[in-house]
Chains A and B, each alone.
Chain A
């Protein structure tokens, strides 16, 4: 199943997310938008960490840990916003 979401991060940027679900797990995911992340390549690490995961509140901590471990800073985006967008995309998935 494929799902998309457009989510305005509160006090942040516009997040556009698309994902592929397989047996309720994330098979692939793209986190897109006009936010900032330093270093930029951090986005691939976060996306890779989300692959294989079930849709659960724990994803917020997973994103935060990935960011902390890799020294990733986000502006106009945070882990909660990514999770919100994931939930919307899952709701839209077909």
Chain B
């Protein structure tokens, strides 16, 4: 009985690894959404949400993604709701790709990811600059976007292995 309960708890933790990574990266002081250093940064959370919502949406519920966005905004002192909107738009793009794709293709995913983050950053820029008149360096934003795009394959591979590991454990 005790053994069964322990296995159930372990299985629950394994299944929810993406959720834990998401909240850890949002709540941790070491910004995983503006990773590495102040000069060289990329948005880890964008890759995380895109991958898991594309490959295994049940493991990363959109309601939790929405709350992660709110937490991120509160901690980063940005517009409350903006990160949630960004994350949900990534979910829309990955959902769309999942529905129209018959044979999954990495290159296609990568290009869609680029288009999605370009769109999201444009929306961010529009909301922050034109509606709320908030000052920020566009170059840094663009650089962050570019590095996020370049780093996508590395995390795609890591997450693919993690997904395999989780599925194997659950089987």
Q: Do A and B come from one complex?
A: no
> Which residues of B does A touch, CB under 8 Å?
none
> Which residues of A does B touch, CB under 8 Å?
none
